[in-house]
Amino acid sequence: MGAIALISAVLMLVMREPMRVALALITTMVMLGGIYGLLGVHFIAAFQVLIYVGAVMVFMVYVIMLLEVREAPGNVTYSRFLVPGVIAFAALVGVLGISVYRSSAEVLTAPGASAFSLTQFSAAFLSDYWLEFELTSVFLVAAIVAALAVIKVSRRAQALTQGSTPGSTPGSTPGRANG
């Protein structure tokens, strides 16, 4: 699951089409939910899948569809930064591998302190930092609403410069359905 989460996270960075990026993000979040389940924190796994995959990603896909982003035929699937990104990733893995190889296997801890564990981190994150986490999600929703407002204003301005009203097609009567 970790490998699939990592691969889909990398695909989010190199894909160009927003819908494909959203699908890669959904895959990453589902795999993270599975990892949480395997770690025994089933409550967090359920929230990961229900809230982030079920609600937030449906909202993101809705926004992508609302913006009417179309894939251009014959368009390149991957970003032009794919090759430099792969080279930088290989360099990072190399540097990390060398530093792990050279370091000792001992983990240094302060006197009287316990070693780091995922359970302690999770408990601290969900008890001490939950407000910051939720504020981040509110800011993301506000950013999406602002982006929609900017797009609506630009579409109105574009429609006014073309001489038609927003939402109407040439030859149609405003307020009446074409049929």
Rounded to 10 degrees, the C-alpha dihedral 135/139/145/150 comes to 170
Last residue of a domain, one of 33, 48, 70: 70
Domain stop point among 52, 70, 88: 70
Share of the chain above pLDDT 70, in %: 75
Q: 6-26: per-residue pLDDT in tens?
A: 899 888 888 878 888 888 888
| 28 Cβ contact partners less than 8 Å away, ≥ 6 residues apart | 5, 8, 9, 12
Q: Is the pLDDT of residue 131 over 60?
A: yes
Answer for the pair 32, 5: CB distance below 8 angstroms, yes or no. Answer: yes
- Overall number of domains in the chain: 2
Assess if residue 75 is contained within a domain. Answer: no
Question: Residues 32-76: pLDDT tens digits?
Answer: 999 988 988 888 888 888 888 887 777 777 777 777 666 666 666
Least confident of 22-36, 74-88, 100-114: 100-114
Rounded CA-CA distance 52/106 in Å is 37
Instruction: Considering only the C-alpha atoms of the chain, give the largest distance between any 2 of them, rounded to a whole number of Å.
Output: 80
Domain-embedded: residue 172: no
Average pLDDT value for the chain: 76
| CATH code of residue 22 | 1.20.120.1200
* Placement of tokens 């939910």 in the chain: 33
Residues 27 and 4 sit within 8 Å (Cβ to Cβ): yes
Distances in whole angstroms, Cα of residue 114 to Cα of each of 40, 103, 109:
21, 20, 7
